[in-house]
Amino acid sequence: MGLFSFLTSDIAIDLGTANTLIIHKDRIVVDEPSIIALDKATNKVLAIGNKAMQMHEKTNENIKTIRPLKDGVIADFTAAELMIRGMIKMIDTGSRFFTPSHRMVICIPSGITEVEKRAVKDSAEHAGAKEVYMVHEPIAAAIGIGIDIEQPNGSMIVDIGGGTTEIAVIALSGIVCEASVRIAGDVFTRDIVDYMRREHNLLIGERSAELIKIEVGSALPELETPPADYEIRGRDLMTGIPKEIKVTYSEIAYALDKSISKIEEAVMKALEVSPPELSADIYHNGIHLTGGGALLHGLDKRLANKTKLPIHIADDPLRAVVRGTGEVLKHLDHFKPILIS
């Protein structure tokens, strides 16, 4: 143990396609978009997280923005390492002598390959971690919403993130059956961009589509308490000049329908292959929704109609996974059976 070992910082990371969250000393200390801005000539880091997102789709020829993760896995190793390192530096420890993390717990998609796992571990180690542990996202989500994963009772988690939707039936600290589909928030965003171009001849960027999704994103064309129409600006593809239109939640429900149907199919398949005794537990306990996709208006009702099961939206679904990852970090020895190293 070195002189300053007491200052080493164990952290839990939800390294998401859309957002990266970090827990340090039981608190969420970083919650930023997973994006980095670099100088094209020198590859110098210009901005990370929110500051880089403000530059996204507005850069000049000397600046590039990179989202290092795609479909839940690392697509650009160097950018991922720089982003993780930069986000760790954002942690305010109250000390000038902040040292690199001693241990990191990072959550990963359940459908990840060995090569993709290695990329996550290598990125974390290059960013300063001395020990790296990984935990599957559905298990982290279950822990984060207060489910006792060690019990024999089966619980079903549907975690709709930015890059993937993770579906898992969990019992006795393990995933009994699972499905991981690369349809989630990013695909919803692209669906909205395509819809606006096709139906309104309006070209909008990712950030605008993301705002539409947040404000009027819906899984059903009819809602009991609908959100107000949302005004969006873009470029008219016919005239080439900027214009503003109003978008309704019903339109967005139509735009997202095919993608949501694919998530429904994956949920149904996971239910079909669940052991009978666990199926009985799920019938009683219902399905738990986590991740940003859980916030789509009417998604719980649509899934309830499809599965005929109770659907529970987690409190603060965007942070369920990182909270669970933080609990794993806090009780590392206790959760050893679920760790991937």
- Consult the annotation and say whether 324 binds a ligand: no
Q: Please, how many CA atoms are within 13 Å of residue 94, restricted to the half-sphere of its CB?
A: 3
Q: What gap in Å lies between CA 64 and CA 36, rounded to an integer?
A: 8
Buried b (16+ CB within 10 A) or exposed e, 313-341: ebeebbbbbbbbbbbbbeeeeebeebeee
- Consult the annotation and say whether 108 binds a ligand: no
Pairing of strands 155-160, 287-290: parallel
Residue 265: CB atoms within 10 Å: 14
Residue 165: CB atoms within 10 Å: 26
Burial class (CB in 10 A: 0-12, 13-18, 19+), 276: exposed
Kindly list the distances between the CA atom of residue 10 and the CA atoms of 27, 136, 141, in Å, as whole numbers in the listed order.
12, 19, 20
- Consult the annotation and say whether 293 binds a ligand: yes
- Consult the annotation and say whether 21 binds a ligand: no
Beta bridge partners of 181: 165
- Consult the annotation and say whether 211 binds a ligand: yes
- Consult the annotation and say whether 93 binds a ligand: no
- Consult the annotation and say whether 294 binds a ligand: yes
Q: What gap in Å lies between CA 37 and CA 60, rounded to an integer?
A: 11
- Consult the annotation and say whether 19 binds a ligand: yes
Residue 104: CB atoms within 10 Å: 29
Q: What gap in Å lies between CA 73 and CA 93, rounded to an integer?
A: 29
Q: What gap in Å lies between CA 42 and CA 27, rounded to an integer?
A: 35
- Consult the annotation and say whether 234 binds a ligand: no
Q: What gap in Å lies between CA 181 and CA 155, rounded to an integer?
A: 19
Burial class (CB in 10 A: 0-12, 13-18, 19+), 60: exposed
Helices (H), the chain: 50-55, 77-89, 114-126, 137-144, 185-200, 206-216, 249-272, 276-285, 299-307, 320-330
- Consult the annotation and say whether 168 binds a ligand: no
Annotated binding site for ATP: 17-19, 162-164, 210-213, 292-295
Annotated binding site: 17-19, 162-164, 210-213, 292-295
